[in-house]
Copies of this chain bind each other. A is one copy, B any other.
Amino acid sequence: MEAPGEAEGAVGPGGRRGGLRCRHPVAEMLDLPFLPFSIFLGGLGFMCVAFVSAWCQHWRGGFALDGGLQMFNWHPVLMVTGMVVLYGAAALVYRLPPAWSGPKLPWKVLHGALTLAAFTLAVLGLVAVFRFHNNHGTPNMYSLHSWLGLATVLLFSCQWLAGFSAFLLPWAPAWLRALYKPVHVFFGSTILMLSVASCVSGINEKLFFSLRNGTTDYKCLPAEAVFANTLGLLIILFGVLVLGALARPSWKRPDADSPDSCQPLLTAER
């Protein structure tokens, strides 16, 4: 996906734009620095986690580890926190201006650690729903939400292992790293899109399940429905903004597409 500013010139580590081409004063005026954007995005991510936690705590009975409905409630909280918010933060590590200069390895380690944390939360979120289903004799893996969600986590596990093997271990040849890098970047964005679609279908499904009796029917749009629908929109907005930030050329590391990327990343940039 491309983002506003795609046809713009590169920006130096200090945030000053170099190699400008036909930039209109209005374009310059509308140009957004990364810092205020990332603060807004951080606030939005915090709201996503707060909303999903408040939904489960206030309307769905809170949290427990007893295999009951309160155990299920960990599922939405852990999936939104791991597969959307933490994942989005991990994806944007290389867009932080301090990551633009100096050795790349610490940022690669941070990216790997954050994605591993996101993956761990996702696995715990899956354990919560499988344990709940098994305790209640409910079959697993029948809905489109479950098919898409599990496929997304499986894809994420492959992505993490391939990224770790190619970019953090020293064994992959330079040509293979250079070949794999754009594939890793593409699947990085794709997994976030699939996560957001999984969350939307999951929230929708949960509301149809939970709001079924006459007084609180989903159709009557009770407060819980408005709140959880709003959570869904916040998650979508967060995902779209992360994908937009990833695609924005002026926020990329200036050397992201330079010939250096064909050299072994670990040894060349340590």
Q: Does A247 lie within 8 Å of B200, measured CB to CB?
A: no
The one of B5, B138, B189, B207 in contact with A144, judged by C-beta atoms closer than 8 angstroms, is: B207
A19 to B139, CA, bound (A): 55
Contact of A148 among B182, B194, B200 (CB under 8 A): B200
Taking CB atoms and an 8 Å cut-off, the chain A residues in 193-242 that contact chain B are 193-194, 196-197, 200-201, 203-205, 207-209, 218-221, 225, 228-229, 232-233, 236, 240
Neighbouring B residues of A3 by C-beta, 8 Å = 182, 186
Is A122 an interface residue when CB atoms closer than 8 A count as contact?
A: no
Contacts of A139 in B (CB 8 A): 219-221
Q: Is the interface of A mostly helix, strand, loop or mixed?
A: helix
Residues of B within 8 A of A138 (CB): 219
CA distance A4 to B182 in the complex (A): 5
Comparing A57-65, A111-119, A156-164, A255-263, the segment that makes contact with chain B is: A255-263
Structural contact, B142 and A225, CB atoms closer than 8 A: yes
Measured in the bound complex, the distance between the Cα atoms of B194 and A155 in whole Å is 21
A200 surroundings in chain B (CB, below 8 A): 144-145, 148, 197, 200-201
Interface size for A (C-beta < 8 A) is 65
Give the contact stretch, choosing among A21-29, A36-44, A82-90, A98-106. A21-29
Stretch of A47-55, A69-77, A123-131, A173-181 that contacts chain B: A173-181
Across the interface, which residues of B come within 8 angstroms of A257, CB to CB?
6-7
Interface status of A120 (Cβ within 8 A of chain B): no
Q: Is A147 an interface residue (CB 8 A)?
A: yes
Contact indicator B193/A240 (Cβ below 8 Å): yes
Question: Is A143 on the interface with B (CB-CB < 8 A)?
Answer: yes
